[in-house]
Amino acid sequence: MLRTWWKNPTNTCTAAVIVLGVSMAVGASTHAGENSTPLTFTNTFSGEPLDVTPPDGEIATEATTHFLRTAENIYVGDAAAIGKGSELFLKQCAVCHGINATGRMGPSLVDDEYVYSRNASDKGIFETIYGGAGGLMAPLKGRITQDEILKIMAYLRSLRAK
């Protein structure tokens, strides 16, 4: 059955289209990321895939585009971004994590103990803030932009550096 499948001209043609399609898809993915491996983001709590396509109405910035491709936050060390991140932190996070991020009803974000070990990395923190974690740690997706999340993350890194 499998042998005769190839002898049928229509099937051979279908096979050629499939091969062409697969090679085009492979070609496209090598252009998708600067390091050629498109990253997969997952939910901190459930491990389910996390859709990081910018929500409707949200504009991708140089920082978000770069981060979603490489997991590298270009706002780290950028004083203006850190300043904005500190304001956002006070509004959105301090009530639970404390004004200096040293913890309140939510854990400290500036020590080396983690509820989820992934939060030692920028990619993990982004996944937690964007997609939420357990209990009161609700997803911030749609409430603040991805760009604002990166600024908060840069602020948190600056606190650790002190």
Which residues here bind ligand HEC, judged by CB under 6 A?
A: 92-93, 95-97, 106-107, 109, 114-116, 119, 125, 128-129, 133-137, 140, 152
Rounded Cα–Cα distance for residues 132 and 140 (Å): 7
Phi, psi of 131, deg, nearest 5 = -105, -5
Please say which residue, 38 or 91, places its beta carbon nearer to ligand HEC: 91
Minimum Å distance from CB 143 to ligand HEC?
8
Residue for token digits 């600056």? 158
Minimum Å distance from CB 95 to ligand HEC?
6
Please say which residue, 19 or 136, places its beta carbon nearer to ligand HEC: 136
C-beta of residue 49 within 8 angstroms of C-beta of residue 130: no
Minimum Å distance from CB 27 to ligand HEC?
37
Rounded Cα–Cα distance for residues 140 and 106 (Å): 15
